[in-house]
Structure 1
Amino acid sequence: MIRTCSAIVLKAVPFAEGGAVVSFLSEHGERLSGLAKGVKKPTAKWVAAFEPLGMVRVSFFGKEQTELKRVTRCELAFSPLTLGHLEASLVMACLADLFDRVAREGVEDDRLYRLLSACGRALKADPDNALGILAYAEHWLLHCLGLLPHPRVCGRCGNESAPLALLSPDHGWCCTACTPVDPVEALPPGAREYLRRLRTGGAETAPRLDPADEAQAVLTALLRARLLQELGGSLRSYEVLWRTL
């Protein structure tokens, strides 16, 4: 049985005899994996097709009940790789790790494919905003997982204008009008506006990293910690990112 689909490359793990087990995010948002034989050999015709976040047309061969099918064809259609741009390359590895953990085999969610493809194209167009695009992706992954309430109204009192105070596990975003909180621990001014920019803009307009923007820094750290906690802890790609930048 042969299955062909458009997909995004996530990870390639070395396998015996110069091969690799490659995971993909299909156009329907399902995680797929297959064995690509000889991919690590210098003469392999499809080495470049397995770079993280590359958009490909891939074919699998194997019986329906076979756990690991064989990759018989993989044609690269688009690559977000920008040669010599370390920050963008590190962020690509983080995104590949995140989506490899979030996507599930046998479970389709095309929002994941749309989000990752948008982030890949945004990275190609503006690699200098790699960290902003990563924060954008983390925000929307939490939304896809059903873990991020809408920030328009306070989840406790319904206020739409008071500054946000905190993110509560029970009520979602809570405002200062109804939530007593130590000013030192409260979310910085501008938190609601930053969340609005993440929700209403696309990956190509993701807010740029601004060291002077306290609300951006605090919320990025908060949402990242929540996402990594849900995925079982820190990812190696993030550890490399933190050590390098």
Structure 2
Amino acid sequence: MLRTFAAIVLKASPYAEGSAVVSFLTEHGERLSGVAKGIKKPTAKWVAAFEPLGMVQVSFFGKEQADLKRITRCDLRFSPLTLGHLESSLVMACLADLFDRVAREGVEDERLYRLLSACGRALKAHPDNALGILAYAEHWLLHCLGLLPHPRTCGRCGREDAPLALLSEEQGWCCTGCTAVDPSEALPPGAREHLRRLRTAAAEEAPRVDPADEAQRAVTALLRQRLLRELGGSLRSYDVLWRLV
């Protein structure tokens, strides 16, 4: 059976005899993997198509129940890669790692494809805001996973005007009006406003990283820790990012 999809490349891992197993996020939001033979050969025609976050048209051949199908064709349609921009390239690797963990074979979620394709185009347009786009993607991934309640109201008392104090896994966002918390451990003022910007902005308008914005720093760290904890711990691509940026 031959099946063709619009998809986004996630990861390529070495396989037997100079081949690679490549994972993709399809246009339907499902993770699919296939074997690309001869990818290591100097004459391989499709090596450039397997860069992380490349948007491709890919064809798989194999039995429906086969664990690994064969990739018969992979045409690159769009690449977010900006030559010479290290930070953007590192963030691309982080996003590929994240979506490779979140997406599932046999489970479709079109929101994942829409989110990753929007982030890829945003990285191409604004590579200097790569870290802001990464934080934007982390926020929306938590939302897609059902782990991020709406910050408009306090999950305990329902207030909308008091500053947010913390994020509780049981009750959601809790405010300072009903939650006793050490001031040094509470979210800085402006956390709700930053969350609102993340929720309402398009990927290309993702808030830029501002080292002086304490609320932004705190929210980004909180959401990143929550997401990575859900995925089983730190990812190698993140470790490389923090070593080099």
For the aligned pair, the TM-score class normalised by the smaller chain equals over 0.9
How far apart are residue 180 of structure 1 and its match? 1.2
Write the distance in 1 (CA, Å) between the matches of 2:103 and 2:40.
25
User: Per the alignment, in what secondary structure is the counterpart of residue 45 of structure 1?
Assistant: coil
User: Per the alignment, in what secondary structure is the counterpart of residue 216 of structure 1?
Assistant: helix
User: Per the alignment, in what secondary structure is the counterpart of residue 88 of structure 1?
Assistant: helix
Write the distance in 2 (CA, Å) between the matches of 1:133 and 1:242.
16
Write the distance in 1 (CA, Å) between the matches of 2:180 and 2:91.
37
Superposed structure 1 runs of 4+ greater than 2 Å apart: none
How far apart are residue 6 of structure 1 and its match? 0.3
Aligned residue identity for 2:167: L
Q: Normalising by structure 2, report the TM-score.
A: 0.99
CA RMSD of aligned residues (A): 0.5
How far apart are residue 92 of structure 1 and its match? 0.1
Q: Aligned ranges for residues 52-201 of structure 1 at < 5 Å?
A: 52-201=52-201
Write the distance in 2 (CA, Å) between the matches of 1:125 and 1:132.
13
User: Per the alignment, in what secondary structure is the counterpart of residue 150 of structure 2?
Assistant: coil
Q: Normalising by structure 1, report the TM-score.
A: 0.99
Aligned residue identity for 2:16: A
Write the distance in 2 (CA, Å) between the matches of 1:159 and 1:66.
52
Write the distance in 2 (CA, Å) between the matches of 1:58 and 1:226.
33
* Gap regions ≥5 residues in structure 1: none
Where does residue 30 of structure 1 map in the other structure?
A: 30
Where does residue 224 of structure 2 map in the other structure?
A: 224
User: Per the alignment, in what secondary structure is the counterpart of residue 8 of structure 2?
Assistant: strand
Kindly provide the CA deviation profile for residues 189-220 of structure 1, in whole angstroms up to 9, marking residues without a partner as x: 10000000000001100000000000001110
Q: How many residue pairs were aligned? A: 245
Kindly provide the CA deviation profile for residues 81-101 of structure 1, in whole angstroms up to 9, marking residues without a partner as x: 000000000000000000000
User: Per the alignment, in what secondary structure is the counterpart of residue 217 of structure 1?
Assistant: helix
Where does residue 233 of structure 1 map in the other structure?
A: 233
Identical-residue share of aligned pairs (%): 84
User: Per the alignment, in what secondary structure is the counterpart of residue 77 of structure 1?
Assistant: strand
How far apart are residue 181 of structure 1 and its match? 1.1
Write the distance in 2 (CA, Å) between the matches of 1:115 and 1:40.
31
* Gap regions ≥5 residues in structure 2: none
Write the distance in 2 (CA, Å) between the matches of 1:128 and 1:42.
32
Aligned residue identity for 1:122: A
Where does residue 15 of structure 2 map in the other structure?
A: 15
